[in-house]
Amino acid sequence: MKWMRFRVRTNEESEDIIISYLEDIGLEGAQIEDNAPLSAADKEQMFIDAPELEPDEKDTGIDSGVAYLNFFLEIDDENMLTVELPDENGEYVQEKRTPEQMQAAIREKLDELKSFSDIGDGTISVDVTEDIDWINNWKQYFHKFYIDDILVIPSWEKETEDDKDKAEMVLHIDPGTAFGTGMHETTQLCIRMLKKYVTSETELLDVGTGSGVLSILALMFGAKHAVGTDLDKCAVPAVKENMENNGIAADKFDMMIGNIIDDKAVQDTVGYDKYDIVVANILANVLVPLTPVILNQLKKGGIYITSGIINTKEEEVKKAHLDAGLEILEIHHQGDWVSITSRKN
């Protein structure tokens, strides 16, 4: 299997906003290199629209503030790339792109960003790489960390005595390659809202649950029961493993696969007027069509927590809340990201 890598040269401050913008054209997830100038060896292997490196980069190998974002797409035998893009209902459909079309789409997005934000060079290089051990290579970058007083730790690391003294709660997480770890700002914004609003009677719906981080923590905060939905079947074993790692009983957390936005069967199975809290940590362009639908699942007085919102799309998601008749309770920011929490009255 071969992969095409699209490598964007930017600055550290623009990493999140570029990743968010490129998700709109089907590039999901990025390998980030901070302060790593493009080498001469790299340039020899690529067709590239980047300028020559400055003398200080060539001589010292140091370029403070420079970052590289690497996006990978599988390339087939016909030299075509497959991307998944949301339709008007928020459901993801596959489309084929040539490498040239993909590079042009990236260029268009970067130029859009340049019109209102300093993203540095914003230059793109493209190359082909052989199959990579995606399943295990990411583990070298994921280490234990804290979200306030919560210690998040993978199975291959151990708690220290200092951790035991410092942590009020420990979340054991093995996210796999496609799911969240809790490290991202959007997840942390949701966690703080869950910690505030969860009670012992909480019925929780987690839309786009992924590895189950938010649902599992809500249950650890004392929630009565959680339901998670996701589009990816791989979420099911990921959630099951993380439940077991954290001692969550099987009857506390139900998982289902499907698109709650437009699939009536999923909506019926999830149920109506039954959730005290709905949390959705998804992209803004999915939150907008999701919001009017999710009113049917929320109880009267229920809390709706949304995140995954880059700051440039805050007003768009805020409008979706208001148009649905929700009362906005809190808006919080962390880095370039936003969470909006509302109530159904």
- pLDDT-based confidence at residue 54 (cuts at 50, 70, 90): very low
Residue 254 confidence (pLDDT):
95
**pTM higher than the cut 0.85:** no
Q: What is the dihedral of CA 141, 144, 145, 148, to 10 degrees?
A: 150
Give 167-179 pLDDT, tens digit per residue. Answer: 888 888 875 544 5
Distance CA 173, CA 143 (A): 11
Model confidence at 141, pLDDT cuts 50, 70, 90, reads low
- Give me the mean pLDDT over the 322-342 stretch: 95
290-306: pLDDT as tens digits: 999 999 999 999 999 99
What is the pLDDT, as a whole number, of residue 15?
A: 83
- Report strand pairing: 31-34 vs 66-75: antiparallel
DSSP 81-129: EEEEEE-TTS-EEEEEE-HHHHHHHHHHHHHHHHTTS--TT-EEEEEEE
- Please check the confidence at residue 50 and state whether its pLDDT lies above 50: no
Residue 24 vs residue 255, higher pLDDT = 255
SS3 labels along 258-309: CCCCCCHHHHHHHCCCCEEEEEEECCHHHHHHHHHHHCCCEEEEEEEEEEEE
Compute CA distances 94 → 26, 82, 83, 178, whole Å: 9, 6, 6, 17
Report the chain's mean pLDDT, rounded to a whole number.
83
Q: What's the pLDDT tens digit per position in 32-41?
A: 775 534 444 3
pLDDT attached to residue 266: 94
Cite the annotated binding site by residue number: 187, 208, 230, 281
Q: 83: which residues sit within 8 A by CB, 6+ positions away?
A: 25, 26, 27, 73, 94, 95, 97, 102
User: Is the dihedral angle over the CA atoms 186, 192, 195, 197 positive or is it negative?
Assistant: negative
For residue 70, give Cα distances in angstroms to 54, 79, 184: 21, 19, 18
User: What is the spatial distance between Cα 266 and Cα 271, in angstroms, rounded to a whole number?
Assistant: 8
Give the per-residue pLDDT at 153.
84
The pLDDT of residue 175? 55
Q: What's the pLDDT at 284?
A: 86
* Predicted confidence (pLDDT) per residue in 145-195, tens digit: 888 888 888 877 888 888 888 888 888 887 554 455 556 788 889 999 999
Q: Which domains does the chain have, with CATH numbers?
A: 2-132 (3.30.70), 186-343 (3.40.50.150)
Q: Of residues 234 and 96, which shows the higher confidence score?
A: 96
Please provide the DSSP assignment of 53-94 as one string.
PPHHHHHHS--TTEEEEEEEEEE-TTS-EEEEEE-TTS-EEE
In the prediction, which pLDDT does 166 show?
Answer: 85
The percentage of residues in the chain with a pLDDT greater than 70, rounded to a whole number, is 82
Q: What is the β-pairing status of strands 123-130 and 47-48?
A: antiparallel
How many whole angstroms separate alpha carbon 7 and alpha carbon 236? 32
Give the burial string for 231-254 (b: 16+ CB within 10 Å, else e). beeebbebbebbbebbebeeeebe
pLDDT of res. 46: 34
pLDDT of residue 137: 59
pLDDT tens-place string over residues 83-131? 887 666 656 688 999 999 999 999 999 998 888 788 998 999 998 876 5
SS3 for 323? Answer: helix
**Which amino acid makes up residue 44?**
E
* DSSP state string for 171-201: EE----SSS--S-SHHHHHHHHHHHHH--TT
What is the Cα–Cα distance from 280 to 340, expressed in whole angstroms?
10
CB atoms within 10 A of CB 174: 16
| pLDDT confidence of residue 183 | 64
Give the model's confidence band at 252: pLDDT under 50 very low, under 70 low, under 90 confident, else very high: very high
Strands 225-230 and 203-207: parallel
Cβ contacts of 10 within 8 Å, gap of 6 or more? 18, 66, 67, 68, 69, 119, 120, 121, 122
Q: Contact at 8 Å (CB) between 37 and 61? A: yes
Which segments are annotated as binding site for S-adenosyl-L-methionine?
187, 208, 230, 281
**What CA–CA distances, in Å, run from 214 to 189, 223, 229, 236?**
11, 11, 12, 15
